[in-house]
Structure 1
Amino acid sequence: MTFERAERPHWDQTFDVVLRQVLPGLPADSSIDPDQELRSLGLDSMKTVELLLGLETAYGTTLFDELDYQNFATPRTLWSFVSPQIDQGADVR
């Protein structure tokens, strides 16, 4: 799927910043394709943990009990999992 400039990501600036900090393969001067495979940007098991910890720190909550790598497939899938939890202020551990 191609990311069209007219489509705006549905995540907040905090999520965007954390993604860019953990995945330096994301160009700083362009939009993040919500459907790009995070593995293609360098997400491996260590980076997944780093991303998880970065999101938890940024949002001040605990997000996961166990890592489900399917949630880390794309920015869109990750945000779809994270956003309801931060909206609720849930601690799901």
Structure 2
Amino acid sequence: MYHPYILLKKETVCYMYINPFLLVMFILPIITFVGSIGIYILTKKVYTAPLISAIVYFILMFTTFNSTFLVWVFIYIAISFISSLLARSVYSPKKY
């Protein structure tokens, strides 16, 4: 009986396939949201996290995905900017 995640075939190992729909719709947005909050906490600048997200996702678009991923790059940059603003409102001291 085979392990559900690893399939062995004559000296090769094939790992479980990641569904692209789940990757684009759930995994990458969650990583972007959490990562942007972490970057904001480290740098205390709102524009740093979207800039890093843009660089990372543009590199991913050219290396692993195709040009249709460009729409998702802009969506992830927006998610990153919104999460940075949210982190600023939570973690920055209030100025009255």
TM-score (norm 2): 0.30
Compute the TM-score of the two structures, normalised by the length of structure 1. Answer: 0.31
More strand, by proportion: 2
Q: Which has the higher helix share?
A: 2
Structure with higher Rg: it is: 2
